[in-house]
Amino acid sequence: MTTKNVKKKVADEKLQIVHVDASLLKASDYNPRKWDKKAESGLKESIERFGMCDPIIANGADNRFNVVIGGHFRLHVAKILGFNDVPVVYLNIPDVQKEKELNLRLNRNTGEWDMDLLKTFELEMLMDVGFDDGDLSEIWDGALETDEDGFDVEKELKKIETPKTKIGDIYQLGKHILICGDSMDQKVVAQLTNAKEVDMLYFDSPYNISLDYSKGISTSGKYGGRVDDNKSPAEYKEFVKNIISNGLSIAKSDCHVFEWCDQNYVGMVQDIFNELGIKNKRTCLWVKNNFNMTPQVAFNKVYEPCVYGTIGKPFLSPHEKNLNEILNKEIGTGNNAIDEIMDMFDIWVAKRLNAQDYTHPTEKPVTLHEKPLKRCTKIGDTVLDLFGGSGSTLIACEQMKRRCLTVELSPVFCDLIVKRYEVLTNKKAKLINK
């Protein structure tokens, strides 16, 4: 039967089985299903004994006509067995994304997957068709990593003369949410979600080191924003405690908590953790590749601390092996082995920007966030960042396929986060509270 005759037959009746020349059917280039020789032998035997009992599902839309949606394996074996005609059911699906979703749904419960091809599908689609956390970890764990996105923050800031964002605006950036507001206000934080769904609190609060947030440590001195960074010890403790409390109000009962701070406030943050029922676990240190000279101080500061704790029994990645397993495994030598071992430690090494390149007073590189995200969350988990800044945490979550809920007080930096996301993903942010 020719393509013209097939189209006429399909148009005449709905959802019927049509016998079609196997050579007319086209395998989709995205099909993630794979099979081995054993499965092929079993299907051959079945078709030889009973024939093609299960029809091929193909697209009947003009722009995708004869593209196979379901039944690639059956078509493959039928051709090996010399079938000229095969039974086909046509579905009219002009939207390629919907076609791909149906392919996943038809293949979900049988056979093996080609993991490389599965990585080309949107995470939301995979979750929607029923892939669970274990499936997603198998697909992506070990393959995902962060990378500096090359976004010129300083250049983009200079372009923002009058910010588009206004206090109270809420943006949807793919799976992420950004609110322009004060994270000290619990009502603002509550707008991020209507459920206790946060798996990790990851905060980079002002350090209370008398830093001018309109100048910071940058020689360019153009941050924007007004932050009181010279509070009394009691005021600063109350500030940090309120921030963490607001985060806990939308956190799961099993949750990781990270709080960046100046080295002088590590003890204070640990006391706050104790008061809020957070178990102190570690103080992680970001070791930077350069430092600022401090007059009249014997030793230069080359690290920033991050106090880490937990509530309940939160997830820890089983794919991050312990040190004993690594040292007793034949992993060879060189940088890969060093990287695996360093992932276990509370020393985090990530390249720091030069001071003159800073566009936010305590700006962090995207790559710094990879270790806590990889170790303490899984694909699809939700991370809360109540100080959005230049958006590096959100960008890291996007690259690691996590979801980020974030609040940023400055409309200028909200504009910046939106632009940074759009440049990275080529997707438009949506203002969802017009």
> What is the residue type of 323?
L
**pTM of the complete model:** 0.70
Find out whether 288 and 364 touch, Cβ atoms under 8 Å.
Answer: no
Q: Does 139 reside within a domain?
A: no
| Residue carrying the six token digits 């499936």 | 135
Residues forming beta bridges with residue 89, ordered by sequence position: 17, 57
Place of tokens 């690594």: 326
Distance separating alpha carbons of residues 374 and 140, to the nearest angstrom:
11
* Token pair of 212 as six digits: 């001018």
Q: Are 43 and 88 within one domain?
A: yes
Tokens of 351: 């390249």
Asked, for residue 25, whether it belongs to a domain, the answer is: yes
Same domain, 89 and 225: no
Q: Are residues 115 and 67 in the same domain?
A: yes
Residue 102 and residue 204 in one domain = no
| Domain boundary residue, one of 131, 166, 199 | 131
Please say whether the beta carbons of 202 and 259 come within 8 A: no
CATH code for position 18 = 3.90.1530.10
Distances 192 to 33, 343, 350 between C-alpha atoms, Å: 37, 31, 30
d(CA 378, CA 403): 10
- Distance, CA of 149 to CA of 420 (rounded, Å): 9
For residues 118 and 207, membership in a common domain is answered with no
Query: Phi, psi (5° rounding) for residue 253?
Result: -70, -20
**Domain co-membership, 167 together with 301:** yes
Number of domains in the chain: 2
Residue 376 phi, psi (nearest 5): -110, 0
Verify that 116 and 164 share a domain, yes or no.
no
φ/ψ of residue 379, rounded to 5: -55, 130
In-domain check, residue 145: no
Domain containing 396 — which CATH number?
3.40.50.150
Residue 176 DSSP SS3: strand
In a domain, 147, yes or no: no
166 and 56: one domain?
Answer: no
pLDDT in 10s for each residue of the chain, 434 residues: 566 665 665 555 566 889 999 999 999 888 877 777 877 888 888 888 888 888 999 999 999 999 999 889 899 999 999 999 999 999 999 999 999 888 887 876 555 566 667 777 777 777 766 666 666 766 666 667 777 777 888 888 888 889 999 999 999 999 999 999 999 999 999 999 988 999 999 999 999 987 665 554 444 444 445 567 789 999 999 999 999 999 999 999 999 999 999 999 999 999 999 999 999 999 999 887 666 667 777 887 788 999 999 999 999 987 655 544 434 334 444 455 445 555 556 677 666 555 444 444 556 888 899 889 989 999 889 999 999 999 999 999 999 989 999 999 999 999 999 999 999 999 999 999 87
Spatial separation of the C-alpha atoms in residues 298 and 51, rounded to whole Å? 84
191 and 331 part of one domain: yes
pLDDT at 114: 66
Geometric angle at alpha carbon 392, from 389 and 393, rounded to 5°? 95
Residue 320, domain member (yes or no) = yes
Domain that holds residue 55: 3-131
170 is a domain residue: yes
CA distance 71 to 84: 16
Residue 229 lies in a domain: yes
How would you classify the pairing of strands 17-21 and 56-59?
A: unpaired
Nearest to 129 by CA among 158, 108, 146: 108
Rounded distance between C-alpha atoms, residue 289 and residue 270, angstroms? 27
Q: Chain-centre distance of CA 334, in angstroms?
A: 29
Distance, CA of 167 to chain centre: 26
In a domain, 306, yes or no: yes
Based on the fold, state whether residues 108 and 167 are members of the same structural domain. Answer: no
Together in a domain, 346 and 215: yes
310 and 272 in one domain?
yes
Contacts of 54 (CB under 8 A, 6+ apart): 71, 74
Q: Which two tokens stand for residue 33?
A: 């299903």
**Amino acid letter for position 290:** N
* Counts of helices then strands in the chain (DSSP H, E): 16, 16
